[in-house]
Amino acid sequence: MPGFPSDAAAMSQPPKRPARPRPKTAAAAAQPRAPASKGELHPRNRHQGRYDFPALIAGSPELAQFVVINPYGKESIDFANPEAVKVFNRALLKQFYGIEHWDIPPGYLCPPIPGRADYIHALADLLATDCGGEIPRGAQVRVLDVGSGANCIYPLLGQREYGWRFLGSEIDATALAAARTIVQANGLQRAIELRQQIDAKHIFHGLLQAEERFDLSLCNPPFHSSAEEATQGSQRKWKNLGKLDPKRKLPLLNFGGQSSELWCEGGEIAFIRRMITESREVAQQVLWFTSLVSKGGNLEQIERALHKSGAAEVRTVSMSQGQKQSRFVAWSFHSAEQRAAWHQRRGAAQD
Ligand SMILES: C[S@@+](CC[C@H](N)C(=O)[O-])C[C@H]1O[C@@H](n2cnc3c(N)ncnc32)[C@H](O)[C@@H]1O
């Protein structure tokens, strides 16, 4: 949803370069110091450094009304304002990815683009490990996005960065309709297909046709275990954000229409465990299964489940976007030789 706090918190930090020494002027001394960045974006991520607001506004004039000067004296937007975050995302997608039309219904998850792009680039690296270091590109590479949301962000970024063809699954009919509108408005119907998962208890089961093959599956799972936990977690994050500016008003939170985006019974552990179990059913149809794990503390249990699953290979990949540390797990039921052969077959079919 727009300005979802954890996403917004991440969004307010990642584009910053590591803190540079400040000139010792009186004005500089009066300004709070920007927090030092803990990590860097992926080297191919287009969002290195600070956002260039004049350039963004030149491409998307509607952004101008939302630009504010933050407590560090820099141009920014109010990440507590859902409309501002939405318009900002629209401007980024237009400037960096040539996405001309992008909108989400009120209350739906508004993704921090740099962090989402990092997962896509790290996935490209994962595929490259089976292809002698070369990233497989083009529409022959097929990717499944589990829970593509109303924003359709991963298919948009993956298609624009690497030309991959996507199938996005979704249980929420409103989200699905919004994502379809984005795809159609940008003329991406051949590159991005969206399909409803009718049974919310299932992930792959009942979704795929027997003849379909995917090089990758990716997922940003609903991570809370109840609507209350989602609300509390969000309020805590907003309060932390609020520390930057005590006068900032916190947004009203309403999980009514889109709660499935943020929580599911058992939280992300249950969701990912179900994904692992069901992945065995479609083990021969998907080369690499992957999922983000939002809570580092959940990793041990998830890795244990993966090692029991019979997967031929299990990996955990760390990513960091500014202050935010994230990670994904990846597993494959194919050996390294089988994966290399899979890519060779696809390459031969392409020639
Ligand atoms: C955290 S949101 C991620 C949305 C988007 N991919 C993003 O990263 O911004 C999780 C999404 O998964 C969807 N979802 C939940 N259970 C699902 C299931 N069993 N199959 C497919 N999608 C599901 C939710 O409706 C929601 O849109």
pLDDT tens per residue, range 308-340: 999 999 999 999 877 788 999 999 999 999 999
Helix (H/G/I), strand (E/B), else coil: 281: coil
Residue 150, domain member (yes or no): yes
Residue nearest to atom 14 of ligand 1 (CA): 147
What pLDDT does residue 151 have? 97
Q: In angstroms, rounded to a whole number, what is the distance separating the alpha carbons of residues 349 and 133?
A: 20
Per-residue pLDDT for 245 more than 80?
Answer: no
Q: Say if strands 324-332 and 75-77 run parallel, antiparallel, or are unpaired.
A: unpaired
What pLDDT does residue 97 have? 98
157 secondary structure, DSSP code: H
**Sorting pLDDT into bands at 50, 70 and 90, what band is 223?**
confident
pTM, entire model: 0.86
3-state class percentages of the chain: helix first, strand second, coil last, to nearest 5: 40, 15, 45
Residue 229, domain member (yes or no): yes
What pLDDT does residue 11 have? 35
Q: Which two tokens stand for residue 120?
A: 């896509």
> How much distance in Å is there from the Cα of 53 to the middle of ligand 1?
31
Residues 39, 147, 167, 113, Cα dihedral to 10°: -30
For the CA of 219, the closest atom of ligand 1 is 6
Residue 259, domain member (yes or no): yes
If one counts every other C-beta atom within 10 angstroms of the C-beta of residue 54, the result is 10
> How much distance in Å is there from the Cα of 221 to the middle of ligand 1?
6
Beta strands in 154-296 (DSSP E): 165-170, 192-196, 214-219, 286-292
Q: Give percent above pLDDT 70 in the chain.
A: 79
Ligand 1 pocket test, pick from 261, 275, 289 with the greatest ligand atom count within 8 Å of Cβ, gives 261
248: nearest Cα among 88, 115, 65, 76: 76
255: nearest Cα among 226, 213, 296: 226
Q: In angstroms, rounded to a whole number, what is the distance separating the alpha carbons of residues 114 and 9?
A: 12
CATH number at residue 327: 3.40.50.150
**Sorting pLDDT into bands at 50, 70 and 90, what band is 261?**
confident
CA distance readout (Å), 245 to 53, 71, 79: 21, 7, 12
304, with CB counted inside 10 A (0-12, 13-18, 19+), is exposed
155: nearest Cα among 167, 173, 170: 167
Residue 177, domain member (yes or no): yes
Q: What total of structural domains would you count in the chain? A: 1
Q: Which domain does 193 fall in, by range?
A: 106-238+251-348
Helix (H/G/I), strand (E/B), else coil: 133: coil
Average pLDDT on 118-129 reads 98
Q: Which residues line ligand 1 (CB under 6 A)?
A: 109, 111, 146-149, 151, 153-154, 169-172, 175, 197, 200, 202-203, 220, 222, 260-261, 264
What pLDDT does residue 31 have? 39
Lowest mean pLDDT among 130-139, 164-173, 188-197, 232-241: 232-241
pLDDT digits (tens, 9 = 90+) for 35-72: 434 358 999 999 999 999 999 999 999 999 999 999 88
Residue 97, domain member (yes or no): no
Highest mean pLDDT among 22-31, 33-42, 198-207: 198-207
Residue 169, domain member (yes or no): yes
Beta strands in 162-299 (DSSP E): 165-170, 192-196, 214-219, 286-292
Residue 90, domain member (yes or no): no
Residue 36, domain member (yes or no): no
Q: Give percent above pLDDT 90 in the chain.
A: 69
Per-residue pLDDT for 269 more than 90?
Answer: yes
Residue nearest to atom 8 of ligand 1 (CA): 220
> How much distance in Å is there from the Cα of 325 to the middle of ligand 1?
21
Q: Say if strands 192-196 and 165-170 run parallel, antiparallel, or are unpaired.
A: parallel
Residue 194, strand partner residues: 168
